[in-house]
Amino acid sequence: MEIIRVKDANEGGKKAFEIIANGMQNGAKVLGLATGSTPVPMYKEMTDSDLDFSNMTSVNLDEYVGLGGDDAQSYRFFMNDHLFNHKPFKETFVPNGKASDLAAECKRYDQVIADHPIDIQILGIGRNGHIGFNEPGTSFTSSTHLVQLTQSTINANKIYFDKVEDVPTQALSMGIGSIMKSKKIILMAFGDAKADAIKGMIDGKVSEDLPASVLQNHADVTVIIDDAAGSKL
Ligand code: F6R
């Protein structure tokens, strides 16, 4: 893993953007994208840039079950709002959280990933080491699946909802096996709430108890952290 230390999330977003821009110059066509607060400065860099994304495809990591693209808390809405409404892509994929048959939707999404192999995957990390919505205990070979969110993830995400009861308890997530097939991975983490997860991911043993530790087995991972997230290294 290459570890890049930055001053703050804004500088981290700039670094990640530079890697993406460079990747696009070298032929990257498919970006794997994440939501949450971590990549927001990177999306700002993308929308402020004069880069053209109209030949690019994006494949997002996850979506809440029960929320559609019109719901302001859905990840589809987030992506439109932070990126796609400003920078049109050729095609954008997010799991459909309102699908009536969730098992069929997982299969469909696996086909999307197979048809659009990810060149550069952007990841944040949960306090418990989750990547995507792959909570501790998720198999390293998993494909897209239905997830029961842990209480810690529900609590972390409740800031985006009026009340904790409104936070969905299930999500659809790209699996760890699929994430690991991405050619290049950029994981960003900022703030001391991520320090334990970052320590475990980099120095801990590779274990399904800390999903992000699987990245030790990937050949091309760049970790972008601030001093707070890196304080336990
Ligand atoms: C989001 C996602 C999650 C987040 C993680 C960190 O699509 O897959 O794994 O990256 O929960 O969230 P933030 O960035 O809000 O701290």
Predicted complex ipTM: 0.99
Concatenated DSSP letters of 48-68: HS----TT-EEEESEEETT--
Active site residue 220: no
pLDDT digits (tens, 9 = 90+) for 96-113: 999 999 999 999 999 999
For the chain, give the mean pLDDT.
97
Does residue 61 have its Cβ closer than 6 Å to ligand 1?
yes
How far is the C-alpha of 166 from the C-alpha of 149, rounded, in Å?
Answer: 13
What is the set of domains in the chain, with CATH numbers? 2-226 (3.40.50.1360)
What is the mean pLDDT of the segment spanning 114-123?
Answer: 98
Decide: pTM greater than 0.90.
Answer: yes
Which of 42, 133, 186 gets mutated to test ligand 1 (max ligand atoms within 8 A of its CB)?
Answer: 133
Which of 33, 35, 127 gets mutated to test ligand 1 (max ligand atoms within 8 A of its CB)?
Answer: 35
pLDDT of residue 19: 98
pLDDT digits (tens, 9 = 90+) for 143-191: 999 999 989 889 988 988 999 999 999 999 999 999 999 999 999 999 9
Active site residue 91: no
Contact 149, 83 (CB under 8 A): no
* Alpha-carbon distances of 215 from 60, 193, 208, rounded to whole Å: 18, 20, 11
pLDDT of residue 128: 92
pLDDT at residue 34 tops 90: yes
Does residue 130 have its Cβ closer than 6 Å to ligand 1?
yes
Out of 63, 96, 105, 130, pick the active-site residue: 130
What is the mean pLDDT of the segment spanning 15-26?
Answer: 98
Active site residue 116: no
